[in-house]
């Protein structure tokens, strides 16, 4: 009798966990978390004065991308950006892939081991958000 209860809890298909994972939820909050962490990195860089002008430019660009992701995930409603949202997200994916290679080639270990994977994962999650 106990064996039947265990079989009822197991998914019908043994190939994946699609029944247990909500891909929309992961792409929505994962992309938001990845962009927000990169945005917070730029705030940290500005506070310590590391490459101040580059960090300031990146702060504003990442702020714009964060705003676009917030509009796409429907946390913010802004009608003027809606026609351009898919193009902005494609540019964001390109920038995140470039960030991955830049962080990966950096001499600083924090960038190599923390922010390079965040950028690559962020590009994947934004891609999932785009095709959703």
Residues 20-62: pLDDT tens digits? 567 788 888 999 999 999 899 889 888 988 888 988 999 999 9
- Of the chain, the percentage scoring pLDDT greater than 70 comes to 84
In this prediction, residue 111 has a pLDDT band, given cuts at 50, 70 and 90, of confident
- The mean of the pLDDT values for the chain is 84
Least confident segment among 9-13, 47-51, 113-117: 9-13
Tally of CA atoms within 13 A in the half-sphere of 101 that contains its CB: 5
- 94 close to 7: Cβ distance less than 8 angstroms: no
Nearest to 121 by CA among 21, 4, 18, 27: 27
In this prediction, residue 8 has a pLDDT band, given cuts at 50, 70 and 90, of very low
Q: Where are the domains of the chain?
A: 22-131
Tally of residues, the chain: 132
Rounded CA-CA distance 94/83 in Å is: 19
- 57 close to 46: Cβ distance less than 8 angstroms: no
């Amino acid at each position: 009798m106990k064996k039947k209860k265990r079989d009822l809890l197991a998914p019908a298909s043994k190939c994946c966990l699609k029944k247990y994972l909500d891909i929309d939820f992961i792409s929505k909050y994962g992309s938001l978390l990845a962009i927000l962490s990169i945005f917070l990195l730029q705030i940290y860089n500005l506070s310590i004065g590391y490459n101040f002008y580059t960090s300031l430019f990146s702060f504003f660009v990442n702020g714009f991308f964060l705003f676009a992701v917030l509009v796409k995930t429907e946390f913010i409603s802004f009608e003027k950006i809606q026609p351009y949202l898919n193009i902005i997200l494609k540019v964001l994916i390109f920038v995140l892939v470039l960030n991955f290679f830049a962080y990966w080639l950096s001499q600083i270990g924090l960038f190599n081991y923390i922010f390079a994977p965040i950028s690559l994962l962020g590009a994947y999650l934004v891609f999932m958000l785009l095709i959703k």
